Chains A and B, each alone.
Chain A
Amino acid sequence: MSDKSADWTKGAEAIVYQSCPACGNVQYFRRNFCAACGAPDPAQKQASGIATVYATSLVCRAATPETRAHVPYNIVLVDTVEGFRMMAHGDNDLAIGDAVIASYRPFAGKLIPYFEKTK
């Protein structure tokens, strides 16, 4: 079985989050404990990629040569159905409240999550 923690930050096509068996808290940034109750070893789970747009910002001025090649690109915060918020890219015309689904695209030498409107 593949490493359950392998996600897009490690080059895999997956969004992984953690769920605390003790208190049920859901967290996105990986730690070896639950940030809500402190219990050790939260469970690693793969997210569905289904989410709602919370906020957007179309970046037109980038700071590095690698990212400048991609402008404009839309940075989004989405609320996943699993209950955590994450940052990603998305279609330039996404609006707050849009129902979206994740895919993966290359960006500045890495694979990143990319959200499009649910068909």
Chain B
Amino acid sequence: MSFITGVGLTSYGKHEGSSSLDLMSKAAETAIADAGLKRSEVDGILCGYSTVSPHIMLATVFAEHFGIQPSYAHAVQVGGATGLAMTMLAHHLVDAGVARHVLVVGGENRLTGQSRDASIQALAQVGHPDYEVSLGPTIPAYYGLVASRYMHEYGVTQEDLAEFAVLMRSHAMTHPGAQFHEPITVADVMASKPVAMPLKLLDCCPVSDGGAAFVVSREPTSATGIRVRGCAQAHTHQHVTAAPALSELGAEIAIAKAKAASGVAISDVRYAAVYDSFTITLAMLLEDLGLAGRGEAAARVRAGHFGRDGAMPLNTHGGLLSYGHCGVGGAMAHLVETHLQMTGRAGPRQVRDASIALLHGDGGVLSSHVSMFLERVR
């Protein structure tokens, strides 16, 4: 068994003067304190990557900087799925007895540490160097391609996609750490600058500075245990050119395996934390995971289903779209918020019941998927 025993999250947006290591340290310190542990009790470290400060051994660079000498440490790279992939690995590590308390950490000064163009260019390199990158695509273009096809096959409209941006913004407005607090409407999304059609500026997550961390332990360290009930991955391709049909993408494979591994059904889930790099990502994943019928996710948003007081509260911190996206830490914020909800510490954002949560991460262009169920046990 494994438990998420502590979480830490910085605000997202501009952290002028903070390095990636600074942001990782800040989040890590919060998470370790939240778990009620001392630094010296952390014996495992998993960290993500930083596009601003790439390093072949980031975990040990961080460990030295932070002042820990772990018995197990390395970095993990699965794009946007990195946070949940690290959590899955930490779960297995503590379950196998390799480590007792694994610190999972990600953070990057992606907004102030480099230009937006540099970020966009660095991320576009997930494309094939010979057959894709020379055509001048961007990450929004890769997802724009997927969006055009999804809209074509399932009758989804640009207005439908806009609903997800509006929902995430409405959630972010209630979180002081979010990058954006100004309300937006569907009309605002529709009128925002075209980026890679059908995706417009407000369909896309921002570039942010920020850090997130959590501790995964063999036993709970406080009265409320948040247990990793089960998780699974699926990797069907890297490049969008090589992606399978929409009906054969990895989210459906990962969630089926996670359900089998945990014995949890979608009808048991009370809170959802789903990767939302673009509005299309969130729409597709909700439907792939079975949280909405095919082509019906936007209607569920309009009906309040995914709101804080709805039947399936979703990304109540505002998600990547409005809390912000600092790389690996971006989707880790989803887990931090889930933990706060499950432990009844989400303050004005608190939902009625978050006893069982479903988390899902996506890396690349719907290439790599991690599905995970968390359960409150005490």
* B window 105-122: CB within 8 A of A: 117, 120-121
Question: Across the interface, do A64 and B148 meet the contact criterion of CB distance under 8 Å?
Answer: no
**Any A CB within 8 A of the CB of B55:** no
**Any A CB within 8 A of the CB of B196:** yes
**Any A CB within 8 A of the CB of B128:** yes
Question: Across the interface, do B135 and A57 meet the contact criterion of CB distance under 8 Å?
Answer: no
* A window 63-119: CB within 8 A of B: 63-64, 66-67, 70, 72-73, 75-77, 85-89, 96, 107-108, 110, 112
Number of interface residues of A (CB under 8 A): 33
Question: Across the interface, do A9 and B131 meet the contact criterion of CB distance under 8 Å?
Answer: yes
Most chain B Cβ neighbours within 10 Å, of A55, A76, A112: A55
**Any A CB within 8 A of the CB of B263:** no
A58 to B158, CA, bound (A): 14
Question: Across the interface, do B194 and A58 meet the contact criterion of CB distance under 8 Å?
Answer: yes
CB distance from B298 to the nearest CB of A (A): 20
B134 surroundings in chain A (CB, below 8 A): 9, 107-108, 110, 112
Question: Across the interface, do B121 and A63 meet the contact criterion of CB distance under 8 Å?
Answer: yes
A108 and B136 in contact, given A9-B130, A28-B131, A57-B141 (Cβ under 8 angstroms) = yes
B295 surroundings in chain A (CB, below 8 A): none
CB distance from A67 to the nearest CB of B (A): 4
B124 touches which one: A60, A63, A86, A110 (CB < 8 A)? A63
A70 surroundings in chain B (CB, below 8 A): 136
**Any B CB within 8 A of the CB of A59:** yes
CB distance from A14 to the nearest CB of B (A): 14
A96 and B242 in contact, given A60-B194, A63-B120, A110-B134 (Cβ under 8 angstroms) = no
* B window 230-284: CB within 8 A of A: 239-242
B140 surroundings in chain A (CB, below 8 A): 57, 59, 61
> Interface size class for chain B?
20 to 34
**Any A CB within 8 A of the CB of B193:** yes
**Any A CB within 8 A of the CB of B197:** yes
Question: Across the interface, do A54 and B117 meet the contact criterion of CB distance under 8 Å?
Answer: no
A89 to B241, CA, bound (A): 13
Question: Across the interface, do B148 and A107 meet the contact criterion of CB distance under 8 Å?
Answer: no
A28 surroundings in chain B (CB, below 8 A): 131, 241
A60 touches which one: B128, B146, B195, B242 (CB < 8 A)? B195
A115 to B241, CA, bound (A): 16
Nearest residue (CB) in B for A74 is: B197
B196 surroundings in chain A (CB, below 8 A): 57-61, 75
A75 touches which one: B141, B194, B195 (CB < 8 A)? B141
A interface vs B, CB < 8 Å?
Answer: 9, 28-30, 54-64, 66-67, 70, 72-73, 75-77, 85-89, 96, 107-108, 110, 112
7 contacts between A and B (CB under 8 A): A9-B134, A57-B137, A59-B138, A61-B140, A62-B138, A63-B138, A66-B136
Closest 3 CB pairs of A and B: A57-B144, A67-B136, A63-B120
